[in-house]
């Protein structure tokens, strides 16, 4: 067998991720807020795009401002072919909610900084330069929860001062507001708060210093034997300890900016029928700038390079407009399918949520499963039953004795209802919950019940028990 070099022509099909296709995928998975920011950025980069002005009719409908038509004899580009139907492709089926002006609910208040608040209190103390530097160092090493994340020894080493001097400044800081700030552990945090009370309860102090883990584990009998108190008294003391703040700095917020969820779709029940409202009023409505239209249509006045630049920007602008419309249409069709499959949920609540997969929805609307996944990622839907993430409606299911399928969310809802109705002195164990669910036609293992209970953040039977 001989080897040699040669040239061969072959035809093959392959999917190439062009920049336009990548942009369309990115736009599809954007939430309304993210899409608004993205569009505003593109408007700055592309001079052909401009925000469309709206004219409000008496009936409350919103109509595009009519753009002057171009003379047919001067047209070199078929604008109807490019733009026609882009903005109207989904308006006949999707009701859009447009809100003028800025809503106070969507604004974020200026947050107080914990370090600035503590430094302001530090400034009221009469300290020398060295003590002030030590205090600033300690404050700078207090995290967003209010805990000191550096040791006294490390501070003394870094600031080149005596350990006792650091402890003295730390005591000052631990007396600052909020109560418990500057602690190095949960035990110390609660102890600081207890000692600030006018009448110090020695039993509470003893429980915090010696039985904090037992309180968390619900081992109240063990505490009662050690302290020679009744279990009921220990329970009252434990309830009082739980009223103290374990994260004193949390009220000032963390490093991340507070954000509010804005639903991408709103479903309203009007006269017994569910109406889909695309809540994309915050997204600027785009149009092609008339000045640049003329550059393309009146070619005898346009420079070749200028015309080529405008053509490239035109293609980018039209692709963006189409991608936004495709996104809106896809989300609408997905929502429409959800209403069809989950009508009982919209009528009666989480208990009646049915199992549903991305593949089922994809087959109904005629797209790939990944398209449905992108269309529902990071997006929220406001329903008559509350606000939920789109992904909430896609849940696995378990077969019941009746041969039907129950969603995991509906089983969790059932478990919560059972636990809410239990006798507080004799709470249901995981095995008992398993037996009750079996009586209702749902056969699942005890470890699965324990897993769902933990996901619901419900304590074990021993920790829920009241004396």
pLDDT tens string 314-346: 888 888 889 999 999 999 999 999 999 999 999
**What's the CA gap between 320 and 322, in Å, rounded?**
5
8 A C-beta contact, residue 427 and residue 417: no
CATH number for the domain running over 112-183: 1.10.10.1330
How many Cβ atoms are within 10 Å of 211's Cβ, its own excluded? 21
Least confident of 267-271, 361-365, 438-442: 438-442
8 A C-beta contact, residue 139 and residue 155: no
Which helix (H) or strand (E) is 387 found in, with range?
strand 386-389
* Coil/strand/helix, residue 224: helix
pLDDT given at position 84: 47
Name beta bridge partners: 56: 62
Q: What share of the chain is helix, strand, coil (3-state, %, to 5)?
A: 50, 10, 40
The torsion angles phi and psi of 394, rounded to 5 degrees, stand at -105, 100
The mean per-residue pLDDT over the stretch 425-447 comes to 89
How many Cβ atoms are within 10 Å of 345's Cβ, its own excluded? 25
**What's the CA gap between 32 and 466, in Å, rounded?**
47
pLDDT given at position 94: 45
pLDDT given at position 192: 93
Cα dist from 332 to 68, 198, 325, 390, 397, whole Å: 32, 60, 11, 12, 25
Out of 1.10.10.60, 2.30.42.10, 1.10.10.1100, 2.60.40.420, which CATH number does the structure's domain 396-464 have?
Answer: 1.10.10.60
| pLDDT tens profile 272-314 | 899 999 888 778 888 887 777 766 666 555 567 777 777 888 8
pLDDT over threshold 70, residue 54: no
**Nearest CA among 325, 327, 375, 328 for reference residue 85:** 325
| pLDDT tens profile 150-176 | 999 999 999 999 999 999 999 999 999
According to DSSP, residue 111 is labeled P
pLDDT given at position 74: 40
| pLDDT tens profile 2-24 | 676 778 787 877 766 677 778 88
Sign of CA dihedral 118, 119, 123, 125: positive
């Amino acid at each position: 067998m001989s080897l040699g070099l040669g040239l061969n022509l072959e035809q093959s099909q392959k999917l190439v991720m062009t920049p336009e296709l990548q942009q369309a995928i990115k736009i599809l998975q954007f939430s309304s807020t993210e899409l608004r920011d993205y569009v505003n950025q593109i408007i700055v980069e592309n001079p052909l795009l401009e925000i469309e002005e709206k004219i409000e009719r008496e009936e409350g409908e919103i109509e595009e401002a009519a753009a002057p038509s171009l003379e047919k004899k001067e047209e070199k580009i078929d604008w109807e072919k490019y733009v026609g139907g882009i903005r109207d492709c989904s308006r006949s089926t999707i009701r859009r909610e447009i809100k003028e002006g800025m809503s106070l609910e969507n604004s974020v208040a200026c947050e107080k900084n914990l370090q600035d608040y503590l430094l302001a209190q530090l400034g009221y103390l009469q300290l020398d330069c060295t003590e002030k530097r030590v205090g600033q160092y300690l404050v700078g090493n207090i995290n967003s929860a209010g805990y000191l994340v550096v040791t006294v020894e490390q501070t003394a080493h870094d600031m080149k001062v005596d350990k006792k001097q650091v402890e003295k400044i730390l005591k000052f800081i631990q007396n600052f507001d909020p109560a418990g700030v500057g602690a190095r552990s949960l035990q110390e945090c609660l102890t600081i708060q207890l000692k600030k009370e006018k009448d110090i309860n020695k039993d509470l102090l003893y429980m915090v210093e010696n039985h904090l883990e037992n309180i968390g584990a619900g081992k109240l009998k063990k505490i009662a034997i050690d302290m020679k108190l009744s279990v009921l008294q220990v329970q009252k003391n434990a309830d009082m300890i739980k009223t103290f703040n374990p994260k004193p700095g949390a009220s000032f917020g963390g490093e991340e900016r507070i954000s509010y969820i804005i639903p991408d779709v709103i479903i309203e029940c009007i006269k017994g029928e569910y109406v889909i409202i695309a809540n994309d009023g915050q997204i600027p409505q785009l149009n092609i700038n008339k000045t640049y239209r003329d550059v393309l249509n009146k070619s005898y006045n346009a420079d070749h390079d200028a015309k080529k630049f405008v053509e490239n920007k035109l293609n980018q602008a039209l692709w963006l407009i189409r991608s936004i419309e495709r996104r809106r249409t896809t989300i609408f069709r997905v929502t429409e399918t959800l209403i069809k499959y989950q009508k009982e949920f919209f009528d009666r609540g989480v208990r009646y949520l049915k199992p549903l997969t991305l593949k089922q929805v994809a087959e109904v609307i005629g797209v790939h499963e990944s398209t449905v996944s992108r269309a529902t990622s990071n997006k929220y839907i406001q329903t008559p039953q509350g606000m939920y993430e789109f992904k909430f409606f896609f849940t696995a299911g378990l077969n019941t004795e009746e041969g039907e399928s129950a969603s995991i969310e509906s089983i969790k809802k059932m478990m919560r209802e059972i636990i809410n109705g239990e006798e507080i002195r004799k709470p249901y164990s995981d095995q008992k919950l398993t037996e009750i669910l079996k009586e209702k036609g749902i056969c699942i293992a005890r470890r699965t019940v324990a897993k769902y209970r933990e996901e619901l953040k419900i304590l074990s039977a021993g920790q829920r028990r009241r004396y």
